[in-house]
Amino acid sequence: MPELPEVESLVVFLREHVVGRVVARVDVPGIHVLKTYDPPPTALAGLEVTGATRHGKFLDLDVSGVHLVTHLARAGWLHWRPQLPPAPPRMGKGPIGMRVHLDDGSGFDLTEAGTKKGLAVYVVRDPTDVPGVAGLGVDPLSDAFTVEVLAGLLAGERGHVKGVLTQQSLIAGLGNAYSDEVLWEVRLSPYKPAGNLTDAEVAELHQAIVTTLSDAVRRSAGLAAGELKAEKKSGLNVHGRTGLPCPRCGDEVREVSFATKSLQYCATCQTGGKPLADRRMSRLLK
């Protein structure tokens, strides 16, 4: 799933390639991805793209005051097309949810792979009309994200630290992958109760969040949309690396699986050598 750094890179890419162009036409072959109906997507045609920005993991294209807001979810992506075919894509077939044609023949597809229908596109007059945007917490790369703010968020929650880091209404843009990375960086168990962190741990955690995300943004800067996923993968230390050696201590990276996702961690670095219970695994072993 694209998180803050990948969405930020898409924003930079769109500023270079799309801002300043005029939308020629919008096709919506996957009508289920469109979550709004007023204004209709056809309202974008003939308008100039005047800005691109990000709210947490939401991508926001300002088209002369009409906003095309996209949440890529787990399997969604933006595919840049230097030259789009003029014929519209077939309705309801294939991965394309929405196709945006620009005035010079280029454009982009908003797609989703597989059967997980998570891609969500909104055409709104104000980005905060999107419920997920209106409820977002602090952006971890903004000046508002201070050690004190993080301390307050953690202290106010009953859950574990992994849950707090990934809750978009608290911190906007941090997801499953980068929260795994950050927790590994500061050697904290994902299941440590959020309210039990010491001041020193909170300060380290804050530093790790800012550094991990800024580094990822810097690594992916200037990459084309199609290259971002590979770059994200190559920069990760534990996330998605189950069974591989921990880059710091050499222990095997372990995982805890849930219905649709899994978290990764190093037991030696983060949980005092004790593997966390994995319900799926213990069920299989019974």
Tell the smallest beta-carbon distance from residue 216 to Zn ion (Å).
20
Q: Is 121 helix (H, G, I), strand (E, B) or coil?
A: strand
Answer for which of 72, 209, 238, 246 binds Zn ion (CB under 5 A) is 246
Looking at the chain, list the stretches that DSSP marks H as alpha helix, in order from N- to C-terminal side. Answer: 4-17, 131-134, 147-155, 161-166, 176-185, 199-220, 228-234, 267-270, 279-285
Of the candidates 43, 46, 93, 89, which has an alpha carbon nearest to the alpha carbon of residue 66?
43
Using the minimum distance from each CB to Zn ion, give the nearer residue, 67 or 241: 241
Of the candidates 65, 102, 97, which has an alpha carbon nearest to the alpha carbon of residue 81?
102
How many of the chain's residues bind Zn ion (CB under 5 A)?
7
Q: Which residue is nearest to Zn ion (CB)?
A: 246
User: Is 248 among the residues that bind Zn ion (CB under 5 A)?
Assistant: yes
Strands 76-81 and 107-112: antiparallel
Tell the smallest beta-carbon distance from residue 249 to Zn ion (Å).
3
User: Is 266 among the residues that bind Zn ion (CB under 5 A)?
Assistant: yes
Answer for which of 268, 276, 278, 281 binds Zn ion (CB under 5 A) is 268
Structure tokens at 64: 């002369």
Using the minimum distance from each CB to Zn ion, give the nearer residue, 256 or 266: 266
Answer for which of 249, 261, 279, 280 binds Zn ion (CB under 5 A) is 249
Chain-centroid distance, C-alpha 23: 25
Using the minimum distance from each CB to Zn ion, give the nearer residue, 194 or 266: 266
* List of residues contacting Zn ion (CB under 5 A): 246, 248-249, 251, 266, 268-269
